[in-house]
């Protein structure tokens, strides 16, 4: 029995010595969920990247082929008040685009779980950028209709700046109380780079969700919370981040409905997201993004 026990102990020791160390939780400035366990072997990461690439190709099929084949209008009966249901119309392209946005959000959560969010973000920016370019090549007003325009830019920038200033004061006060208020050199590249991802998210949420719901005839009292919930849900399961982005998403949706301009929203998204990570979550997003943590 003693020999058998010694053999088992030796085998267990060898197993522990050769076992691959488990990686920590996925994190990063572009990993908005930031609480998922990561996948282990690098082969799994490569498989996840291949699945992401296939998913983006499927999104292109959804965005281009479905509206061409099925051009009829989809009718939704949504009871919003005591006067009866409101008949809201969404054409096939709008449904396809909103579905693609939802799938992009699901893909982001899956990429977070697989630990490849920092790879997923440029794929999303490139994939949706290609779609915008293809549509803009044949529809001169397409980008302006999405909110990439100079119309009402001054008013939108002013009110977005006022909203952002209030958020910065609130986050600064929170950081001062909790000892996380600090200004670091790593904030500079993030404040330059992160608005590109913020603009992409605002284009998807405002341009392809808020705009379509508004054009379908839904009142603002329905559009704003639906848009806010869409934006906030992408940041699950991080509850503080989800609560903050849902609140911000509602305010941004209101500004977008009034002004139809997405530029200030994207810039503010990037700046506020960076400061939220440092001052509220007490993390160094640049070190996380570059893999130094």
Cβ-in-10-Å burial (0-12, 13-18, 19+) of 9 comes to exposed
Sign of CA dihedral 92, 98, 104, 107: negative
Task: For CA atoms 207, 208, 209, 211, give the dihedral sign.
Answer: positive
Using the predicted structure, report yes or no on whether residue 242 has a pLDDT greater than 70. yes
Q: What is the pLDDT of residues 225-234, one digit of tens each?
A: 999 999 999 8
- Report the C-alpha gap between 113 and 23 in whole angstroms: 12
pTM greater than the 0.75 cutoff: no
Q: What pLDDT, on the 0 to 100 scale, is given for residue 84?
A: 46
pLDDT tens digit sequence for 6-18: 555 555 555 444 4
Ranges of H-type helices in 115-237:
117-138, 142-146, 153-178, 187-202, 211-215, 220-233
Place of tokens 């020791």: 13
Most trustworthy range by pLDDT among 3-7, 74-78, 97-101, 277-281: 97-101
How far is it, in rounded angstroms, from Cα 171 to Cα 167?
6
Tokens of 239: 């509850």
Cβ–Cβ < 8 Å for 156, 261? yes
Largest CA distance in the chain: 84
**What is the per-residue pLDDT across 174-198, written as a single tens digit (0 to 9) for each?**
999 999 998 888 788 888 888 888 9
Mean pLDDT of 47-52: 62
Q: Which helix (H) or strand (E) holds 88?
A: strand 84-91
Q: What is the DSSP letter of 25?
A: B
SS3 165: helix
Give how far Cα 260 sits from Cα of 43, 52, 87, 208, 210, Å: 44, 31, 23, 12, 10
Tell me the average pLDDT across 216-222.
94
The radius of gyration of the chain's CA atoms, rounded to the nearest angstrom, is 22
Rounded Cα–Cα distance for residues 293 and 285 (Å): 9
pLDDT of res. 129 = 94
Helix 239-259 vs helix 220-233: crossing angle, to nearest 10? 140
Q: Best-predicted range by mean pLDDT among 42-51, 113-122, 181-190, 261-270? A: 261-270
Residue 134 has pLDDT above 80, yes or no: yes
When the pLDDT of each residue in the chain is averaged and rounded to a whole number, the result is 78
Delimit the domains of the chain by residue range.
48-140, 152-293
Q: In the prediction, which pLDDT does 41 show?
A: 45
**Tokens, residue 254:** 């209101």
Q: What is the mean pLDDT of residues 149-157?
A: 94
Instruction: Output the CA torsion sign for 266, 269, 272, 277.
Output: negative
């Amino acid at each position: 029995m003693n020999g058998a026990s010694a053999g088992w102990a030796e085998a267990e020791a060898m197993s522990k010595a050769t076992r691959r160390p488990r990686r920590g939780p996925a994190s990063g400035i572009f990993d908005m969920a930031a609480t998922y366990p990561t996948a282990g072997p690098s082969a799994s990461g490569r498989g996840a990247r291949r699945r992401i690439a296939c998913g983006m190709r499927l999104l292109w099929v959804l965005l281009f082929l479905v509206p061409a084949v099925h051009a009829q209008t989809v009718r939704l009966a949504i009871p919003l008040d005591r006067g009866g249901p409101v008949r809201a119309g969404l054409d096939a392209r709008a449904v396809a685009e909103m579905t693609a946005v939802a799938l992009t959000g699901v893909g982001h959560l899956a990429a977070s779980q697989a630990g490849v969010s920092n790879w997923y973000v440029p794929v999303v920016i490139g994939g949706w950028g290609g779609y915008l370019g293809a549509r803009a090549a044949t529809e001169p007003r397409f980008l302006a209709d999405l909110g990439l325009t100079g119309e009402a830019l001054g008013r939108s920038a002013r009110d977005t700046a006022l909203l952002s200033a209030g958020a910065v004061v609130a986050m600064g006060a929170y950081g001062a109380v909790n000892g996380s208020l600090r200004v670091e050199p790593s904030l500079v590249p993030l404040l330059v780079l992160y608005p590109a991802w913020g603009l992409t998210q605002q284009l998807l949420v405002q341009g392809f969700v808020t705009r379509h719901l508004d054009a379908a005839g839904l009142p603002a009292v329905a559009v704003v919370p639906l848009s806010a919930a869409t934006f906030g849900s992408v940041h699950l399961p991080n509850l503080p981040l989800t609560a903050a982005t849902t609140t911000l998403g509602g305010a941004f949706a209101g500004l977008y409905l009034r002004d139809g301009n997405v530029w200030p929203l994207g810039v503010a998204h990037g700046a506020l997201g960076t400061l939220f990570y440092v001052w509220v979550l007490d993390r160094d997003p640049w070190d996380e993004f570059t893999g130094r943590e």
